[in-house]
Structure 1
């Protein structure tokens, strides 16, 4: 088979498309003929040689990638042979191996791909969609809310924009550039602004007729963009921080789900890693169900498997729209 391997940590060019032996599935595993493999910013961080959270640096050479969808083409000892030929999707957890024509998956991680979804859409929902469900857990958005989504044309941002619209909230999408703001508007945003323009906060204030109109801020980028966005938060608003922005939440907090910011009236709600792991199958099932029902439709940005390096470069430079996937 062909796979993308990393032989040395460093730039995207270190991702090499090459031929490797077909992996046999061990006991309690199955093998998937991959139709789509997810690319995550975490993959790029690890490729650079930086460990992050519970994900240690792998031994080299390694095949990156933790999200795959395709057809079962072989099963290991102890696995029901009726699974052969079934369309499945799985998140591989801490074990990489997704950037390949064939991927070995623990049978306990597998979900059947619902009929309306493509392999690329299923991959988007099993990883990015699962994280969105974690962010939204316990959050009750209503028509009384005004929601601001940063990076609204990204994988998570696109789903969060759709969900806020579905719940009837007044939805404001902030994205970089006219193409991305147009995409966010097509997802149901009532207002889409280009955060590359210095006047974007004032555009929101003028359009909504209030200096601090936002009750829920969904923030993946963090940094200066998030600091500007917080000036739009109403008293008692909730700042949902995930991805790069999750560092806003103290890792030493007893709850690690919410804490007050330094103004004392805004709640910053993080993404607790323990909850993601303990309830991951529940969140995966909910994500796939909402996509099947048409509530959420993931945006997908596809690259060929041999173009993994280009996919990494585009993702790191914010040159993608939606979930990035590799197609063998």
Structure 2
């Protein structure tokens, strides 16, 4: 099989396409002929050799990636023959191996890809979608809320904006740059702002007043400004910091203004059914058209380009590597 391996920490160009032996599933496992592999911002951090986040630095060489979709083409001992030939999607968990033409995983990790959903969209739904659904379930908007999604051109933010719209709330979304904000116009929300403009906060104040619920996946200065725009009694849910640092929150923010500030973290696991249920439900909702992932695809061999575009914020939505079948 062909696979992208990282032999040395550093630049995107360190991701190289290698020829490796085919994989064989063990007992209770299946092999997937991969057609789509998810790329996460965390993958770029690990590639650079920077520790932090939920995953330790891998031993090298390593095949990055943890989300795959494709067709089951080989079964391990004890696996029901009915799985053979099924189109599936899986999150490999805390182990790497996704950027490849084959992947092996436990049969219990598999989800059927809903009809009408392509494999790249399924990859987005099983990983990015479960995060977005967890955020939404933990802080669901009411009809009178003014919801702000400052990372709406990313995979999670794009889905959160769609979910917030279903509640009847006023929805404000943001991204940096004219090209990305133009894409956000497709969401049909109440207001789109460019947080690369110095007057974006004033635009929000003039158009909708204060915010009452923020889904913060950006952090840094943008997250801090969104926090200051949040009115008394508002909710501020953090699920990431693509800017490089989490939003700074002080005691005065919480006490003086009565804000509720939350961090996604392990709270997702406490929801009914935990993370597996969120992944399954996200796929189901995507199959029903309740929400639809935004995906940017790259050939497997162009993994280095995909990493560079993701780091430079040139890619829209979930970045996915594809393998022709």
For residue 258 of structure 2, what is the aligned residue in structure 1? 265
CA shift for structure 1 position 49: 1.4
For residue 301 of structure 1, what is the aligned residue in structure 2? 296
Q: Distance in 2 between matches of 1:281 and 1:267?
A: 27
For residue 236 of structure 2, what is the aligned residue in structure 1? 239
Root-mean-square deviation over aligned CA pairs: 1.9
Q: Distance in 2 between matches of 1:179 and 1:42?
A: 24
Q: Distance in 2 between matches of 1:325 and 1:113?
A: 16
Unaligned runs of 5+ in 2: none
Q: Distance in 1 between matches of 2:139 and 2:218?
A: 20
For residue 85 of structure 2, what is the aligned residue in structure 1? 85
Contact conserved, 1:173 with 1:185, CA < 8 A, in 2?
A: no
State the SS of the aligned residue for 2:70: strand
For residue 194 of structure 1, what is the aligned residue in structure 2? 194
- 1:320 matches 2:279: no
Contact conserved, 1:249 with 1:269, CA < 8 A, in 2?
A: no
The correspondence of residues 106-255 of structure 1 with structure 2, limited to 5 A, is: 106-208=106-208, 210=209, 213-244=210-241, 247-248=246-247
Give every structure 1 segment of 4 or more consecutive aligned residues whose post-TM-superposition deviation is greater than 3 Å.
245-250, 259-264, 274-278
For residue 310 of structure 1, what is the aligned residue in structure 2? 305
CA shift for structure 1 position 48: 1.3
Residues 263, 47 of structure 1: CA spacing in aligned structure 2 closer, same or farther, 3 A cutoff? farther
Contact conserved, 2:231 with 2:257, CA < 8 A, in 1?
A: no
State the SS of the aligned residue for 2:138: coil
State the SS of the aligned residue for 1:244: coil
Unaligned runs of 5+ in 1: 251-258
Contact conserved, 1:71 with 1:87, CA < 8 A, in 2?
A: yes
Q: Distance in 2 between matches of 1:26 and 1:51?
A: 31
Q: How many residues align structurally?
A: 317
CA shift for structure 1 position 228: 1.3
For residue 14 of structure 2, what is the aligned residue in structure 1? 14
State the SS of the aligned residue for 2:241: helix
CA shift for structure 1 position 52: 2.7
CA shift for structure 1 position 186: 0.8
TM-score (norm 2): 0.93
CA shift for structure 1 position 263: 4.2
CA shift for structure 1 position 247: 4.2
Contact conserved, 1:67 with 1:127, CA < 8 A, in 2?
A: yes
For residue 65 of structure 1, what is the aligned residue in structure 2? 65
Q: Distance in 2 between matches of 1:207 and 1:164?
A: 18
Q: Distance in 2 between matches of 1:169 and 1:50?
A: 39
- 1:94 matches 2:94: yes
State the SS of the aligned residue for 1:5: strand
Q: Distance in 1 between matches of 2:140 and 2:297?
A: 33
Contact conserved, 1:69 with 1:122, CA < 8 A, in 2?
A: yes
State the SS of the aligned residue for 2:97: coil
State the SS of the aligned residue for 1:216: strand
Q: Distance in 1 between matches of 2:52 and 2:260?
A: 25
Q: Distance in 1 between matches of 2:263 and 2:107?
A: 31
